[in-house]
Amino acid sequence: MSPKAMARPGGRSARVQEAVHAAVRELEAEQGRASLTVPAVAARAGVTPSTVYRRWGDLHELLSDVAVERLRPEEPPADHGSLHTDLESWARQFLDEMASPSGRAYIRDALLGDPDGSNAGQCSAYAADQIEVILARARGRGETVPDVDVEAVVDHVVAPMMYRILFRPGQLTVSYADHLVRAVLTSPVSPD
C-alpha cells in the first residue's frame, strides 16, 4: 500500500479505497485487463478520476496496491504435524499460486507501480510471516528444529522460486520446491 493510501485510513477514505479496488477487480474480470483505465475504474467506483489520481498517482500505483491485497495470504499455513511437511506444503502452494498466470500478473503489478518499494516489501513480509508461523509451531511441538531461521528460508527457498518465476519461467516443478525445502533443512545456512 502506498504511503498516500496509508495516510488516510478509515471513514470515507476506507470506503473509497474499497470501492476503487472492487472496481478494478470487477472490470478486469468482466472486460479484461485492457479495460483498466483510471476514468473507467473511477466511473465504476462512483468517484471522480481526480480522486483516483490524487490518491494513487497513476494507474500503475493503483494496480500495485490491488495486487498486494490479492497476494495477502488468507489464512495461516496448514498444520501437517511436522516442520518438514509444513514447509514443503507451504512452498508447493506458494510456487503454485505465484507461478500461475494471475500470480505472475500480481507480482508484476506489485513491483511495477511501486516507486518506494513498500508494496514489494509487503509481499516479502507476507511470505516471511507465514514461514515464521511454521517455524514457531515446530518449536512449540517440541520438534528438533535445525539451525534455520526465517532469513535462511527466504534466501534459499522463497528467493530461488521467485527468481525462476520472474527470470526462468520454464523450470518450475513441485520437485524443485521440495528440493529447496529439503536442502535448507538438511544443510542450513546461517544468516550471517
Residues forming the site for its own copies (CB under 8 A): 108, 111-112, 117, 120-121, 123-124, 154-156, 158-160, 162-164, 166-170, 175-176, 179-180, 183, 187, 189-192
User: What is the closest distance, in whole angstroms, from the C-beta atom of residue 180 to its own copies in the complex?
Assistant: 7
d(CA 73, CA 149): 20
User: What is the closest distance, in whole angstroms, from the C-beta atom of residue 105 to its own copies in the complex?
Assistant: 11
User: What is the closest distance, in whole angstroms, from the C-beta atom of residue 95 to its own copies in the complex?
Assistant: 13
Please count the other Cβ atoms lying within 10 Å of the Cβ belonging to residue 119. Answer: 25
**Nearest CB to its own copies, comparing residues 40 and 126:** 126
Closest by CA to 1, choosing from 57, 47, 85, 84, is 57
**Nearest CB to its own copies, comparing residues 44 and 179:** 179
d(CA 89, CA 85): 6
d(CA 179, CA 172): 12
**Nearest CB to its own copies, comparing residues 51 and 149:** 149
